[in-house]
Amino acid sequence: MNKIRLLFFATLRERAGTKALELEIPPDMTVRGLKEKLAAEYPSLRESMKSVLITINREYAFDEAVIPANAEMALFPPVSGG
């Protein structure tokens, strides 16, 4: 199992009820797998996982990316502007 740290920002922080979590995940887990895990374990985040922006060690990550051990991940709600 790999240990990772999740940081929640803006509305995701409110929905998660915390600013950070530490999780143990399987070594081959992808970003998509993490989003599914969070949606299942934290129902208040389920809807947000469809459009969340995620970084791994301060670089944007896509659903197919495999999460490395000891990663710091940040989750951001989508940003809109005008």
Q: For 66, which DSSP code?
A: B
In a domain, 46, yes or no: yes
Per-residue pLDDT 10s for the chain (82 aa) are 999 999 999 999 999 999 999 999 999 999 999 999 999 999 999 999 999 999 999 999 999 999 999 999 999 998 766 5
Instruction: Assign residue 42 the CATH number of its domain.
Output: 3.10.20.30
What range defines the domain where residue 23 resides? 2-76
pTM summary value: 0.91
- pLDDT at position 74: 98
The two three-digit tokens of residue 4, written as one number: 């990772």
Token pair 């996982």 is found at 49
The two three-digit tokens of residue 20, written as one number: 């950070």
| Structural domains in the chain (count) | 1
